[in-house]
């Protein structure tokens, strides 16, 4: 056997290295015990997800030194696990220990949900999208952006393209057919393009409720919870307002929401109204919906509708005359879904028959959708219909009286003159020159914006305006 001779100095140095190594290994084992204790006190998946990229740097001067790959990662753990981490460190390392949290270069990147996978690792994202109940046709590239939806689009794109969860949860609200479902699907599709192995669940709130109802009597509640709480990286839930008044479903979703959120997984929801306006929703769910980013989508303005019409025509390789574009944008005032459906009908007919797209063709094909622009609508008819439906006198509606029972109908009248007659703001201000300061068209702008907002949030007012539409013989749906 070969023997090695060491000097006294070399012996002491090597012995010190061995002792340091043994101490380091012991500290590493203690750190592992810290993590195990955290798993029992917090979410096991959350600890594995967020602490998997934390580097244990050792113990120095009564401090446990930890390395984090980014400031965001460090702050997130400090916020969510700070107290539990401190208690676990002191329970395992000693009561005098403190924690030093460092952002260090070379630390393993976060075990981010959204990291991009190479094509060699991944399966077809389109197949995964279909498995996740997503529509692959809905993409950010096919979403027409305008002032009505710009903020919501930006928030959704940020969620889909960020390497960290900057908006969690994300709550999108707006009226029917304005593009919420498109954006929800676009998020899921973009995430799967970046990482096809991501477990994305896209589901209607009603389907969530029905699946729960089916799981309870068949003793499959464990499988139900595993699907949504364990086997899910991103939850995309459409039409969350369906849960209102469903106490058992709300309770189940509350615990599902908590587990996903605490373990650092993304949640995106859509609704027809802002959380504060959702009836029969438990306060604990409402507070969680309001804890993240809230973005709204409004009805499209004229320019956005023109852009949608032209995009649909281009997708069918058809040219649509500007005058037809203008006619459709001004006379289909309902949601984007109906506008797109109208364009699909026109484009399909023109492609099959070769007929030139004209205003007459549009009138013929969309007779049950387009309003009758020749029915003789004028401001006086609108004001009279509003007064009748609100039960007030016309002279009070046009007066300067500031009581709410007169101000609201006055604002509705301004809104309808804008929507149905396409009058300019100064023109509307002139009509109501005797009412407050309506001749200053900034008042008209404020009134129109207020009614648009109320339509999305106040079901009673929405029904009232729909009744006015019926009185006027307007066949189109309300924005």
Q: What would the DSSP string read from start to end of 90-103?
A: HHHH-TT-EEEEEE
Confidence at residue 15, expressed as pLDDT on a 0 to 100 scale = 45
Whether the ω angle into residue 169 lies within 30 degrees of 0, i.e. cis, is: yes
**Using one digit for the tens of pLDDT, what is the confidence trace for 256-312?**
999 999 888 999 999 988 898 888 899 999 999 998 899 988 878 888 888 888 888
**Using one digit for the tens of pLDDT, what is the confidence trace for 318-367?**
788 888 888 888 777 656 888 888 888 888 888 888 888 888 888 888 87
Confidence at residue 334, expressed as pLDDT on a 0 to 100 scale = 58
Sign of CA dihedral 467, 468, 472, 474: negative
Residue 264 vs residues 77, 159, 232: alpha-carbon distances, Å = 10, 13, 11
Confidence at residue 285, expressed as pLDDT on a 0 to 100 scale = 94
441 versus 203: which is more confidently predicted?
A: 203
> In the chain, what are the domains?
16-103 (3.30.300.180), 125-297 (3.40.50.300), 318-365 (1.10.8.60), 379-472 (1.10.1750.10)
Residues 408-425 as b or e (16 or more Cβ within 10 Å = b):
bbbbbbbbbbbbbbebeb
Q: Which residues contact 22 (CB under 8 A, 6 or more apart)?
A: none
Q: Which two tokens stand for residue 182?
A: 């498109």
For the chain, percent of residues with pLDDT exceeding 90: 28
**Using one digit for the tens of pLDDT, what is the confidence trace for 393-414?**
998 898 888 888 899 999 999 9
Query: pLDDT-derived band of residue 122, with 50, 70 and 90 as boundaries?
Result: very low
**Using one digit for the tens of pLDDT, what is the confidence trace for 33-92?**
888 888 887 766 667 767 877 888 888 888 999 988 777 678 778 877 888 898 989 988
Q: What angle do CA 384, 387, 392 make, to 5 degrees?
A: 140
Give me the residue label for tokens 């025509």: 313
Residue 65 vs residues 92, 95, 310, 385, 413: alpha-carbon distances, Å = 14, 16, 59, 73, 66
The structure's pTM equals 0.60
Q: What would the DSSP string read from start to end of 335-400?
A: -HHHHHHHHHHHHHHHHHH-----HHHHHHHTTTTS--TTS---HHHHHHHHHHHHT--HHHHTS-
- Please, are residues 189 and 138 in contact by the beta-carbon 8 Å criterion? yes
**Using one digit for the tens of pLDDT, what is the confidence trace for 240-267?**
999 999 999 999 999 999 999 988 899 9
Q: Which two tokens stand for residue 376?
A: 């003789």
| CA distance linking residue 221 with residue 227, whole number of Å | 10
Residue 146: Cβ-neighbour burial (10 angstroms; 0-12, 13-18, 19+): middle
Residue 471, SS3? Answer: helix
């Amino acid at each position: 056997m070969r023997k090695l001779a060491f000097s006294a100095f070399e012996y002491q140095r090597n012995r010190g290295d061995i002792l340091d190594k043994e101490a380091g290994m012991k500290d590493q084992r203690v750190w592992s015990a810290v993590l195990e204790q955290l798993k029992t006190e917090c979410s096991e998946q959350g600890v594995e997800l967020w602490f998997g990229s934390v580097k244990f740097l050792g113990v120095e001067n009564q401090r446990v030194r930890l390395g984090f790959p980014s400031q965001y990662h460090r702050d997130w753990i400090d916020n969510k696990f700070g107290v539990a981490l401190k208690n676990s460190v002191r329970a395992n390392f000693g009561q005098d220990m403190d924690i030093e949290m460092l952002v260090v270069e070379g630390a393993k990147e976060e075990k981010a949900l959204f990291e991009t996978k190479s094509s060699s690792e991944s399966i077809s994202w389109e197949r995964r999208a279909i498995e996740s109940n997503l529509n692959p046709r809905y993409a950010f590239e096919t979403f027409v952006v305008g002032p009505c939806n710009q903020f919501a689009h930006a928030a959704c794109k940020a969620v889909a393209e960020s390497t960290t969860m900057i908006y969690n949860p994300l709550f999108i609200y707006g009226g029917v057919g304005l593009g919420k479902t498109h954006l929800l699907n676009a998020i899921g599709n973009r995430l799967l393009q970046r990482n096809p192995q991501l477990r994305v669940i896209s589901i209607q709130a009603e389907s969530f409720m029905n699946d729960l109802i089916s799981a309870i009597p068949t003793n499959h509640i464990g499988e139900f919870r595993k699907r949504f709480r364990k086997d899910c990286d991103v939850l995309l839930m459409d039409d969350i307002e369906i849960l209102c008044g469903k106490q058992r479903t709300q309770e189940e979703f509350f615990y599902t929401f908590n587990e996903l959120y605490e373990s650092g997984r993304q949640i995106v929801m859509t609704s027809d109204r802002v959380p504060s306006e959702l009836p029969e929703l438990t306060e604990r769910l409402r507070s969680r919906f309001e804890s993240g980013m809230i973005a709204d989508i409004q009805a499209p303005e004229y320019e956005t509708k023109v852009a949608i019409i032209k995009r649909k025509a281009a997708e069918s390789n058809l040219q649509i005359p500007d005058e037809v574009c203008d006619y459709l944008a001004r006379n289909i005032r309902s949601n984007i879904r109906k506008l797109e459906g109208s364009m699909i009908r026109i484009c399909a007919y023109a492609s099959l028959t070769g007929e030139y797209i004209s205003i007459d063709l549009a009138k013929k094909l969309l007779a049950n959708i387009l309003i009758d622009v020749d029915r003789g609508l004028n401001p006086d008819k609108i004001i009279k219909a509003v007064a009748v439906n609100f039960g007030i006198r016309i002279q009070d509606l046009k007066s300067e009286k500031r009581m709410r029972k007169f101000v609201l109908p006055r604002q509705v009248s301004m809104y309808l003159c804008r929507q149905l007659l396409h009058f300019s703001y100064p023109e509307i201000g002139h009509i109501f020159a005797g009412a407050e300061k309506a001749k200053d068209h900034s008042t008209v702008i404020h009134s129109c914006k207020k009614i648009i907002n109320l339509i999305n949030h106040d079901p009673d007012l929405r029904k009232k305006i729909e009744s006015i539409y019926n009185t006027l013989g307007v066949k189109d749906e309300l924005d």
